[in-house]
Amino acid sequence: MSMISSMLKIEEVRKDLARLNSDALNADQFMDGVTRVLHEKMLKYNWVGFYMLEPGANPPMLALGHFQGAMTPHTRIPLNQGICGAAVSLRKTIIVDDVKSDPRYLACSLETKSEIVAPVFVRGQVAGELDIDSHFASAFGVDDRELVEYCADLVGKRLEQK
């Protein structure tokens, strides 16, 4: 895919997200739709899912929410484990270009080569995250970070309406 067609694809995805945001009846439907759009349209996004903080869990725990792709063994992740735990603990997006070289990485599929995790903020507090795995090394560049953070942001805003 050329630079231009990849930018057009991201434009198309943003339009799909806007439509979805106005059609979805609640945050839950919206999150499900976000995973579907990203998984279907972004060819290198091979696993797309949300992990959300379990209300009242002590110690805090991330629980698998809506996702697209193969079932993962990691349905609950403590904050001191994985790239997922790190993104929530550090309150920032993490991109790992080569998962084999990151000791924090929890393997979900043998095919995964790179990963991006963006926190979802609700009223300034981390409520969960959007996690995407790719079968391709270094799959997530500046445009992907922008898109994934935009999705996480839209979800945070929907959750704030609850």
| C-beta of 14 vs 87, nearer to ligand SME | 87
* Residue 52 interacting with ligand SME (CB under 6 A): no
Nearest distance in Å: CB 98, ligand SME? 13
How many Cβ atoms from other residues are within 10 Å of residue 81's Cβ?
16
CA 109 to centroid of chain Cα atoms: 16
Is residue 133 within the footprint of ligand SME (CB under 6 A)? Answer: yes
Helical spans, DSSP H, in the chain: 3-23, 27-41, 82-90, 142-160
Cβ of residue 87: shortest distance to ligand SME, in angstroms?
8
Residue 93 to residue 148: CA distance in whole angstroms = 9
Distance (Å, whole) CA 111 – CA 69 = 12
Binding track, positions 58-77, relative to ligand SME; x by CB under 6 A:
--------------x-x--x
**Which residues are at the interface with ligand SME (CB under 6 A)?**
47, 72, 74, 77, 82-84, 105-106, 108, 115, 131, 133
